[in-house]
Amino acid sequence: MLGFIFAWLLAFLTVTPAPIESAPQHGSDQPDRMGTVHFDTSCSPRVRDEFNLAVATLHSFGYQKSEQLFADVLSKDPSCSMAEWGIAMSHYRQLWDPPTQDDLRIGLEAAQKGLSMGPKTQRERDYLTAIQSFYQNAGSESHGIRAKRYETAMELPHTRYPHDSEAAIFYALSLIANASPRDKTYANQKKATLILAPISLQQPQHPGIAHYIIHADDNPALAPLALDAAKQYSHIAPDSPHALHMPSHIFTRLGLWDDSITSNLASAASARRQKMAGDELHALDYLVYAYLQTGRITEARKLTQQLPVVERGDAARYAGLYATAAIPARYWIERQQWARRRGPSPASTNRPNGRLCLDSRDSVFRPCAWRIKARKHSNGAGSTATVAFPARHTREDRQQRRGSGECSIEDCERLDQVGQR
């Protein structure tokens, strides 16, 4: 299998990238450079370009923007049931945090509405049925069960319509999303890459292919296989902050620090222009780490002091909250500064809901109210110092905090999970 992937990579390197094909940006004379997608639907021809742009945006995890674009398509063609599919898909962030209650409600309503509109083809009905299968029974079935059901449902259009590259690409994404972290053979990831590799030769400017290959190979064993995809992705969708950032996952795995710095400087700047604080913070997290690996301590220190605030409603909120906690901690731990430096009283840089505060004594971003668990770490000289970290919360902890109004069980669970993404 790996031999096949290497052969594909060699072939991919010989492909000359085609010019980026873009659809008109809604409300602007400038194009959105999000790559090239051709998603056939029975919707009106006048919304074809905007629908393709919405799907391209979805493939780069621009969830809020893609939902807006699909809604615009629906307003121009009220009979376009696949626009409802797109809205439902925009609330299922497969590789990020589990859906909120609002996501589950909106997603289910969109899928049901799309099916009730009477899809004009069986293929469109299959797409809508697949995403509906994820949202159904959310109150009684776990996220994992429903995610696996969606994967199984997406296998149907993948096999039933062999020439439908979008079905294959979305099926590959579902395989990656459901890959077990305990499976060190990376069976799902390899299967996804085998699906994506041939399509990449036919559609080298498709944003989802390079993106999902990076995610599939974002592990120590497979990372070298995704280097070419990493180099391509930012050029395919340069207006996507996530596309500008994602190559750095592979660059970080391979120790290509200057490439990671370039990638995340561009991503953070793009996210800042688009007011996407969660994406900006995620890029800054990787940027700080790359700065520290190359000894650029001053640059890293500056970033710990100017973090944006991520608000509720941001699609990348939990990645942003994780980064907000991790950035100052990286600055401290990577320099092996185990002894706590005493200084002014804690800073008052409060984060959403007043839960997180930056402690200026040691540049650690700590929960303001949550319990802190102290761990012992060696300082290299045979002694130990107390290092404070947020506790890994048990269900009982979350229930207690929920009762006191500090947070909901759902919020605490997602904060625990996001650090694994």
- Is position 250 within any domain? no
Residue 25: pLDDT band by 50, 70, 90 thresholds? Answer: very low
What distance in Å separates the CA atoms of residue 103 and residue 106, rounded to the nearest whole number? 5
- Residue 295, Cβ neighbours under 10 Å: how many? 10
Residue 261 and residue 214 share a domain: no
- Residue 23, Cβ neighbours under 10 Å: how many? 20
Amino acid symbol at 181 = P
- Is position 237 within any domain? no
E-assigned strands of 128-273?
A: none
Residue 104 and residue 25 share a domain: yes
**Count of domains forming the chain:** 2
What lies within 8 Å, CB to CB, of 281 at 6+ separation is 307, 308, 310, 316, 319, 320, 323, 324, 327
378 bridge partner residues: 384
Residue 265 and residue 211 share a domain: no
Amino acid symbol at 390 = P
Tokens of 361: 């004594």
Amino acid symbol at 337 = Q
Query: For the segment 85-114, what is each residue's pLDDT rounded down to a tens digit?
Result: 999 999 999 998 889 999 999 999 999 999
Query: For the segment 304-324, what is each residue's pLDDT rounded down to a tens digit?
Result: 988 998 888 887 888 888 899
Helix (H) or strand (E) holding 129: helix 122-135
Closest by Cα among 73, 72, 107 to 92: 107
Query: For the segment 234-292, what is each residue's pLDDT rounded down to a tens digit?
Result: 999 999 999 999 999 999 999 999 999 999 999 999 999 999 999 999 999 999 999 99
Residue with token string 């990645």: 319
Mean pLDDT score across all residues of the chain:
81
Residue ending a domain, among 225, 245, 273, is 225
Residue 209 and residue 272 share a domain: no
- Residue 66, Cβ neighbours under 10 Å: how many? 24
What distance in Å separates the CA atoms of residue 336 and residue 294, rounded to the nearest whole number? 15
Q: What is the pLDDT of residue 261?
A: 97
Amino acid symbol at 252 = T
Residue ending a domain, among 203, 225, 247, is 225
Percent of the chain with pLDDT over 90: 64
Please return the burial class of 156, using the count of CB atoms within 10 Å of its CB with bins 0-12, 13-18 and 19+.
Answer: middle
Strand, coil or helix: 144: helix
Inter-residue contact 385 to 407 (CB < 8 Å): no
Residue 261 and residue 220 share a domain: no
- Is position 383 within any domain? yes
What distance in Å separates the CA atoms of residue 302 and residue 205, rounded to the nearest whole number? 36
Residue ending a domain, among 204, 225, 246, is 225
Query: φ and ψ at 387, to 5 degrees?
Result: -115, 130
Domain that holds residue 171: 1-225
**DSSP secondary structure string, 160-196?**
H-TT-HHHHHHHHHHHHHT--TT-TT-HHHHHHHHHH
Which is it for the CA torsion 160, 163, 164, 169, positive or negative? positive
Amino acid symbol at 195 = I
Residue 260 and residue 221 share a domain: no
Closest by Cα among 344, 347, 322, 332 to 385: 332
Query: For the segment 372-412, what is each residue's pLDDT rounded down to a tens digit?
Result: 333 344 334 433 333 333 333 444 444 444 444 444 444 44
Comparing 187-201, 300-314, 349-363, the range with the smallest average pLDDT is 349-363
What distance in Å separates the CA atoms of residue 275 and residue 273, rounded to the nearest whole number? 6
- Is position 239 within any domain? no
